[in-house]
Homo-oligomer: A and B are copies of this chain.
Amino acid sequence: MAKTMKALMKKKPAAGASLEQVPVPTLKAGEVLVKVRAAAICGTDAHIYSWDQWAANRIKPPLIFGHEFCGEIVELGAGVEELQEGDVVSAEGHFTCNRCFFCRTGQGHICEDVEIIGVDTDGCFAEYVRVPQENIWKMDPAIPEEIAAIQDPVGNAVHAALIDEIIGNNVLITGCGPIGLAAIAICRYAGATQIFATDVNQYRLDLARRLGADFAYDVSQVNLVEEVHKETGGRGVDVFLEMAGKEQAINDGFKALRGGGWISLLGITDGDVRLDINDGLIFKGARLYGINGRLMFDTWYKMEALLKTGLDLQPLITHSFSFEEFEEAFELVLSGSCGKVILYP
C-alpha cells in the first residue's frame, strides 16, 4: 500500500483549504483503514472551509476535514473481528465514549464526551481514513456508493421524520437543504399524504418537487400559513419538520400546525429566536422533538431497510467533483444551488 496519500486539509486558521500529500494513517488496536471511494460535502464542511465564527472556535488546524463517505476496508488493526479487507463500508462519524450515562442507556448520539471525525480528528477528504471498528457500517451491496456516502445527513432526516407517526399525515418541511430534501423523499416513502416544502432557492424547490413534495413554496413570495390552511381545509398540517434554522420558518410552522400535531426541530439557528409558544405549542397541545444526529445504530438499520427496498434518493445527488476540483465544489455548496455534492479521490 502507498505510504502517502492526498488529503484536503485546513492547514491554517483562515478561509480556504489545500490539497496536500500526507502520510497514510497508521492504525491503533480496534481500528480499520478505509480507502475512500466517495465523500460528500456537508454544511459543516462549508463552515470549516469558509472559516466562520463557529469554525474558528471549534477547529484546530491542521486537520483533514470531511465526515461523509463510503469506501473499502484495506487494513485491519489489532483485535478487529467481524470485519474483513474488501468490505464496502460507511461509518458513523460520532466516536462515543461508551462510558457515560448516555452511552450506557442507548443514547450514544448525545454522548457527553463525543469526538467527531473530520471535526475533532482527521476526516474523510483523503484517500484513506482511519475508523474505530465499532463505528463501521457495512454496506448492503444493493446500495450505490454515492448514496452510501451520504448516510450521515440522510440518517438525520430519517431520525427527524420517523421519530413519530408519518403514515397518513400531512407534513410541512421548512428548508430544502440536503436534509430537508431527504426528509421529503422519506416522508413520501413512509406514506405521508400531502407534503409541503419551503425554501427561497428555486433550484432547491425544483429538487423538492422531484423528491416528492406536493407543494414547494418560495416563502419570499407566498404566505406559507395561508397556503397550508387553504390546501388542508383549514386544519393545518399534522407534522412540521423544521430544517431551515430560521425564526420565521419556526413561527410559520407553529401557525401551520394543527392542534395535537408534532414537530421535529433540526435546523440550527443563528443565536436565539423569538417565538410564539402560546399559540404555537401550548394551546395546540403540540409535542416537539429536538433532533441531534442519528440514533446509533437504530437509525442506520432503519435507513438501510428503506434504501434496500425502494427509497430513491438519486435526485438528491446533483454534482460530483474530483478532490482536485475542491474549490469549485465548495463554491457550489456555498451558493446553495445544489443537492448533495460528491468528491471523488
CB within 8 Å of B: which residues of A?
A: 81-82, 98-99, 101-102, 104-107, 109-110, 112, 134, 162, 165-169, 189-191, 193-194, 235, 250, 259-260, 265-266, 268-269, 271-278, 280-292, 295-298, 301-303, 305-306, 308-309
Contacts and interface: CB of A to CB of B under 8 A. Distances in A.
Given A134-B98, A268-B282, A290-B285, A167 B193 contact: no
A167 B305 CA distance: 9
B290 A287 contact: yes
A184 to B, nearest CB: 14
B191 A285 contact: no
Given A104-B296, A104-B301, A283-B290, 12 more contacts: A81-B99, A110-B285, A112-B259, A167-B190, A167-B306, A168-B305, A190-B191, A265-B281, A268-B282, A280-B290, A285-B289, A287-B288
A292 B283 contact: yes
Contact of A82 (B99, B109, B259): B99
Interface of A is mostly: loop
15 contacts: A81-B99, A105-B106, A105-B297, A162-B167, A191-B191, A265-B282, A275-B275, A275-B277, A280-B290, A281-B288, A281-B290, A285-B291, A286-B290, A287-B289, A288-B288
A273 B284 contact: no
A269 to B, nearest CB: 6
Contacts of A259: 102, 107, 110, 112
Contacts of A277: 250, 265, 269, 272-273, 275, 290
A281 B235 CA distance: 27
A193 B305 contact: yes
Contact of A285 (B190, B282, B292): B292
A294 B201 CA distance: 43
A106 B109 contact: no
Nearest to A97: B82
Contacts of A274: 272-275
A104 B272 contact: no
A278 B134 CA distance: 28
Contacts of A110: 259-260, 283-285
Nearest to A258: B101
A153 B301 CA distance: 32
A191 B306 contact: yes
Given A189-B191, A275-B275, A167 B169 contact: no
Given A98-B134, A266-B282, A278-B268, A297 B167 contact: no
Contacts of A276: 271-272
Nearest to A297: B104
A117 B284 CA distance: 20
A302 B104 CA distance: 12
Contacts of A295: 105
Most B-side CB within 10 Å, residue of A162, A269, A285: A285
Pairs A-B, 9 closest by C-beta atoms: A106-B106, A281-B290, A168-B305, A110-B259, A282-B290, A288-B288, A104-B297, A193-B309, A285-B292
